[in-house]
Amino acid sequence: SYEKRIEKLTLRRSEADEQVLSDSMKQRIHIIKRAAREFKNGMYVNLGIGMPVLASNYIEPGITVHLQSENGILGMGPFPTAEEVDADLVNAGKESVTVLPGGTCFSSDVSFGMIRGNRLDMTILGGMQVSQNGDLSNWVVPGKIIKGMGGAMDLVAAPKSRVVVTMTHNAKNGEPKILKENTLPLTGVKCVDRIITDKCVFDVVPGKGLLLRELSYGQTVDKIRAATACDFEVASDVAETY
């Protein structure tokens, strides 16, 4: 009998499952749990490929968020359990997903019409580098083979959509990913509103640069300065919040 294959079977994890994950995966979940606090009731939000899609699993109870995937889903739910897997339901990263009651599927041109037409309140994207002015690099590393640039350039070009970038504060080799100027090819210029890392939360203030808003537990302003390759201001009420 024929069985439709799923390129990236991705299942919802229980809290017990999360306790036995690798340190790098726990770090990603730490970042994305903070990012999930950005959701407000009634928002229409796009979640980028990779780390951002994890946010669908951490929406606060009582909050309704309409999640959009650029391959043509509105009303995307969390990752499925093993019993809920449907090979015809995948996100833009080809991972298995669920669709909530009332959700809908449509063509890619309609999806990008929503994105370019400013129908989304917020997009949460992954990042490789962000500059002090909010320039974003997240679509290619020179010399690496990729399938395509994806929809990030369209997502960050919509002027009314808030752009939140989630990423580790430093690369695997320890190099800072928050810089004075990006060295990787740009996805968008002056497009990022907020950066959420494993160490802190920065806001990008137009015309001024970065403002340190929150610290992860155990972090200090001095530690953030040592891990960041550009200057920034510190909010008067900065505190450890996640």
**How many CA atoms are closer than 13 Å to the CA of 67, on its beta-carbon side?**
27
Pairing, β 194-196 against β 200-205: antiparallel
Long-range contacts of 52-56 (CB under 8 A, 24+ apart): 52/124, 52/125, 52/126, 52/166, 53/91, 53/93, 53/95, 53/97, 54/28, 54/29, 55/124, 56/97
Structure tokens at 239: 């505190």
Place of tokens 């969390």: 78
| Cβ atoms of residues 210 and 233 within 8 Å | yes
Rounded distance, CA 42 to CA 185, Å? 34
List the catalytic residues.
70
For residue 122, how far is the Cα from the chain centroid? 10
Rounded distance, CA 197 to CA 114, Å? 28
Rounded distance, CA 180 to CA 133, Å? 8
